[in-house]
Copies of this chain bind each other. A is one copy, B any other.
Amino acid sequence: MKTEAELKDFFENGDKKYFSNLTIDCSIFGYHERQLKILLAKWNGLDGFSLPGGFVGRKEPLTQAANRILKEKTSIDNIFLQQFYMFGDSEFRTDNHKKFTKFLPKDSWLLNRTFSVGYYALVDYASVTIEEDIFTEKYVWQDINKIPDLLFDHNEMLEKAIQHMRINLHHQPIGINLLSKEFTLPEIQSLYETILDKEFDRRNFSKKLLSLGLIKDTNKIRSIGQHRSPKLYCFDKKKYSQMLKGGIALEL
């Protein structure tokens, strides 16, 4: 959505292309340097932030829509993306609500009641290229412990996303989208510690991951300067995808 003409068309005829009552909102978790952040969008002309989202095309499969929206915002695809809830209860979602009324004609399709499908994604913050478009003034990565009041019902959505993400962590391995191909034990441990906001014992942590067969030694080391060089590990892809499908009980 780049040109003025496209924009005008979206406002006037968007409902021909998209369902007017169905949006997707993404809680995009970014991990970088031992911090967990969430991607927030500041809308042009609106005060305050929201989760990035978009509409679902009338002929578009739902999952494909979620991937498209994510790619539009972050320019990456093929990432870990999970649907977690369909929102349609809050006052904001039952009222034919007041949002945007100052910008839009009274009969605009954008003033309809919307349902929203919540997805969460885990991405490597550093590999994301934010794509600002004409709707968004800017995107910011916000520390997950310092989330401001968001627009619409997005605080509730984000809270639920965090809950689901943390619970799912115990049933699915993560990391392949968040770490480089080869990583050290302290790196993957930090990842888990940051996301779960919990500390683990070095020895027990590595024992667990190795005994599960989830990661394996590459016989390489990484030089980190003035300290002992840590060994490099990689995921056992077979085991990894097996666990993604079949589920694991990762008691951490």
Contacts and interface: CB of A to CB of B under 8 A. Distances in A.
Contacts of A89: 61-64
A61 B83 contact: no
Contacts of A21: 19, 21-22
Interface in A141-197: 167, 171
Interface residues of A, number: 28
A115 B167 contact: no
A58 interface: yes
B94 A61 contact: yes
A85 B62 CA distance: 12
A31 B171 CA distance: 27
Contact of A56 (B58, B60, B85, B88): B88
A252 B62 CA distance: 35
Interface string A88-108: 110001100000000000000
Given A21-B21, A21-B22, A88-B56, A115 B62 contact: yes
A22 B115 contact: yes
Nearest to A163: B247
A113 interface: yes
A38 interface: no
Contacts of A70: none
A87 B86 CA distance: 10
A60 B88 CA distance: 9
A59 B94 contact: yes
Contacts of A59: 94, 113
Given A60-B94, A167-B171, 4 more contacts: A21-B21, A56-B88, A61-B93, A61-B94
21 contacts: A19-B21, A21-B21, A21-B22, A22-B22, A22-B115, A56-B88, A58-B113, A59-B94, A61-B89, A61-B93, A62-B86, A62-B88, A62-B89, A62-B93, A63-B88, A63-B89, A65-B88, A83-B85, A86-B86, A167-B171, A167-B247
